[in-house]
Structure 1
Amino acid sequence: MGLWVAIVAIVGVLAALVIGVGSIFSAGGVASDNPFASRNLFSDPGSKAAQASTAAEQSGDSADAATFGRIAAVPTAVWLVPEEHPAGEVGGYVQGLVGQAEKLGQAPVFTVYGIPNRDCGGQSTGGLSAEEYPVWVQEIATALSGSEAVVILEPDALALASECKNVDERLSEVSGSVDALVGAGLVVYIDAGHSNWGPAAEMADLLNKAGVSRARGFSTNVSNYNSTDREQYYANAISALTGGAHYVIDTGRNGNGSTGEWCNPPGRALGATPSPTKSGSAQDANLWIKPPGESDGTCNGGPVAGQWWDANARELAADAGF
């Protein structure tokens, strides 16, 4: 742990000096009601990128250690999945991270990803039962109550609802989660898929039924590669149909835009580091939501979804000049 602390300290300073990453947001020109105007975001010292940096350093690979350390230093969402942090454990886990963040004057971003029939049997198959899910979400909400945490709620859940043939169930589950998390005083963004998935009007209808008016807004491009301007066009159309709902965009891996392929496409690059958006836009921020370097699934040579992949992290960083 001492070795990793030293590495993070060095690369974090270098990254902030060279390209402006890290947890410090400039509030200049940002609307006062933008949640990110007052939040410095948290970089999890136990992230897979951080672990990979430590492992590379211990093996004598200083180049990989530095590259992975720079990625780890960028504030990135922490994913909560029941297979890793089940009910009875997830509350203590998130409380521990919130405690670390608060000592640094920072706020963590969490991605809640445990809805029943989560990926319709795809690369990220899994999730909880209909009975287990609200209990798990409520434990998260209770643990985070009163904190500065931001929550990205159930990537792909609404966008996949028709394919999973459980639209009504999904709407009810997402709506219940919104109530639990917002009731704990948290900033919540319901996931809205991405611009290549379906018409903005259809997604806006789902978001309205799921309770986006009770949340801060919605997220787009999570775990995808579409360019920021393309996502802004899509998200602005949704915002206009959802009472002006605000949104965030996942820019972690969209530096080279999209080829139309979503599962470990080659030749992609890290995108713009997290920052709040200037006032005058429905967009609140660019965020790194899907952790760069973690696989999309067993495709294009990748390991299982969510597993760290050295080669992918190297390519994303190199193609971005990071």
Structure 2
Amino acid sequence: MSLHRTESPLSLRLLASSALTLTTALFAACGTAPTPSVDGPEGVTASSLTELVVNGTFSSTTTAPWWSGPNTASRVDTGRLRVDVAGGTVNPWDALIGQDGITLVNGQAYTLAFTASATASTAVRATVQLGSAPYTAPLDQHITLDGTPRRFSFPFTSSLSTSGGQVTFQLGGRASAVTVFLDDISLSTGSSTGSGPLGMTSGFYVDPNSNPAAWVRANSGDSRAARIQSAIASRPGARWFGNWSGDIASAVSSFVAAADAADKLPVLVAYNIPGRDCGSHSGGGAGSPEAYRTWITAFASGLGSRPAIVIIEPDAVAQLDCLPSDTERQTRLGLLRYATERLRDLAPNTWAYLDGGNARWIAADTMAQRLESAGVRNVRGFALNVSNFYTTAESASYGSAVNTALNNRYGYTRAFVVDTSRNGNGSNGEWCNPGGRKLGTPSQVGGGAELLLWVKVPGDSDGQCGIAPGTPAGQFSPDLAIRLIDGT
């Protein structure tokens, strides 16, 4: 569907939604895997950056070369761009501001970043796009602003070459008037560990209260303790949050605050979807859709503006087949979309990844359709191999196939991460505490995916099965840990 409006003397541009082409930015380091490090991305060299936006800091009284379209009036106010937006508009593009003359190069990595707030809660669409038909948009992001100034950063890769690009902020679609404030607007070439939450931290966070770490402290005299400390407890990994976490906003806030104080990047897993794990070993979850919406909103609020990585609901998309009716499947997809929207809107410095199963579970084309329905376009990307054992290479091949399907069907791709916590020996076809598995590459940038992460905590049981028939899901077993260390 093409979108039409009257052309103004400022040669304002309008995005044609049928021409959306969203692409995923990978770090500059992703082409070559850095040496694995327990601290994460140290040693990954940031690429040289070139600023493309003019007058993004509004240090003078002029707003030029930023232009204002219909239903907007702009001026510099205390070192910020103040945009007064009229009410009574229907579409985002009915009230917009922008800057023309942006040069884009096909295949080049860029990052759009800005600080923004508003006098009332309001939806905003930020784009980097072609300034003429067909208005292709390599970057198209929807955010929600409120009275708290927040920093947003969106890496992307251009899908076109042009000297006629533009940056726009589309502010319409409100019944009432609102004032939006923008500052420190930047569009820079290059995408590296200086982008997003990785650029705000000095490495991945080692959870001092993980199950392996707690076991080591309580069993310092055990002959296995030193090896578990060295190989597992001292390595960065995820903390899982669910219905056992108590006050979820407080639990999340405390965890990310500790990581922030250490200048490290925490990895969190949101694991509380109703009907979790199809009632199997890790069954449970929120008691109702309403309870889940309240829970995930509090989860996202606990993150705030601090940097974080979040994995959204392992298995929830892949396990749609276990739900008994289409109504329940649609309810779950709606809850996952809600989760992606809450994380997008309330946690601007979080990169969230919606779980996408593993390489041998759901066909890539089907998974792409499910991820689209579950809201993957609202977040950074998708996660693969969580709590499983498939090799990084096989997972990366599957991730590429999912992205091919996303691009063919919907015109965009997404970054993906791979859980490498237990994939050192690959899969033997079993998923529940199989023997002969081994620790994989520690958390790092690149290495076959955007990030390799220890999402599953090595040594935590999958359930009362396999080589740990007496160990409930989520409980730490030193015997499991040692066997992962040794690959036996």
Alignment-derived partner of residue 237 in structure 1 = 401
SS at match of 2:260: helix
2:481 is matched with 313
Determine whether 1:65 maps to 2:225.
yes
Q: 1:244 to 1:143 in 2, by over 3 A?
A: same
1:28 aligns with 2:45: yes
CA distance in 2, matches of 1:138, 1:297: 29
Shift of 1:26: 2.9
Instruction: Tell me if structure 2 keeps the 8 A contact 1:22–1:73.
Output: no
Structure 2 partner of 1:210: 374
Aligned partners of 1:41 and 1:292: how far apart in 2? 16
In structure 2, what is the equivalent of residue 265 of structure 1?
434
Deviates more, 1:136-145 or 1:29-38: 29-38
Deviation at 1:55, TM superposition (A): 1.9
1:42 corresponds to: 205
2:282 equivalent in structure 1? 124
Alignment of 1:1-322 (within 5 A): 20-28=37-45, 31-32=191-192, 35=196, 37-38=198-199, 39=201, 40-57=203-220, 60-61=221-222, 63-70=223-230, 71-82=232-243, 84-86=244-246, 89-128=247-286, 129-165=288-324, 166-184=328-346, 185=348, 186-242=350-406, 243-277=412-446, 283-302=449-468, 303-319=471-487
Partner in structure 2 of residue 5 of structure 1:
none
- Alignment RMSD (CA, Å): 1.9
Q: 1 or 2, which has the higher helix percentage? A: 1
Q: Distance in 1 between matches of 2:352 and 2:370?
A: 16
Aligned amino acid, residue 21 of structure 1: V
Structure 1 residue 269: deviation in Å?
A: 0.2
Tell me, in whole angstroms, the C-alpha distance in 2 between the residues paired with 1:313 and 1:121. 26
Kindly indicate whether the alpha-carbon contact (under 8 Å) linking 2:37 and 2:444 is maintained by their aligned counterparts in 1: no
Identity of aligned residues (%): 35
Q: Is the 8 A contact 2:434 2:467 kept in 1?
A: no
Amino acid at match of 1:169: T
Would the aligned equivalents of 1:27 and 1:37 in 2 still touch at CA under 8 Å? Answer: no
* Residues matched between the structures, number: 294
Task: State the distance in 2 between where 1:187 and 1:246 align.
Answer: 10
On the 8 A contact 1:225/1:257 being kept in 2, the answer is yes
Instruction: Assess if the C-alpha contact under 8 Å between 2:420 and 2:442 holds in 1.
Output: yes
- Which structure's CA Rg is the greater one? 2
Structure 1 residue ranges without an equivalent (≥5): 1-17
Q: Distance in 1 between matches of 2:196 and 2:336?
A: 21
Equivalent-residue separation in structure 1 for 2:343 and 2:197 (angstroms): 18
The one-letter amino acid paired with 1:137 is I
Contact 1:55 1:65 in 2 (8 A): no
SS of the residue aligned with 2:310? strand
Q: Give the aligned residue type for 2:320.
A: A
Equivalent-residue separation in structure 1 for 2:260 and 2:337 (angstroms) = 29
CA distance in 1 between partners of 2:218 and 2:342 (Å): 38
Give the Cα–Cα distance (whole angstroms) in 2 for the partners of residues 238 and 197 of structure 1. Answer: 12
Counterpart CA distance in 1 for 2:238 and 2:37 is: 18
CA shift for structure 1 position 25: 3.3
Q: Distance in 1 between matches of 2:197 and 2:228?
A: 25
**8 Å CA contact retained: 2:36, 2:441:** no
Matching residue's letter, 1:263:
C
Q: CA deviation at 1:301?
A: 4.0
Q: Please report how far the alpha carbon of residue 24 of structure 1 lies from its aligned counterpart in structure 2 after TM superposition.
A: 4.9
- Aligned residues of 2:271 and 2:313 also touching (Cα < 8 A): yes
Q: State TM-score, norm by structure 2.
A: 0.58
- Report how far residue 254 of structure 1 moved: 0.2
1:214-266, CA deviations, whole angstroms, 9 ceiling, x for partnerless residues?
Answer: 11000000000001100000001112222121000000000000001000000
Where structure 2 has 5 or more consecutive residues not aligned to the other structure, the ranges are: 1-34, 48-190, 407-411
Deviation of 1:69 after TM superposition, in Å, equals 1.2
CA distance in 1, matches of 2:245, 2:269: 13
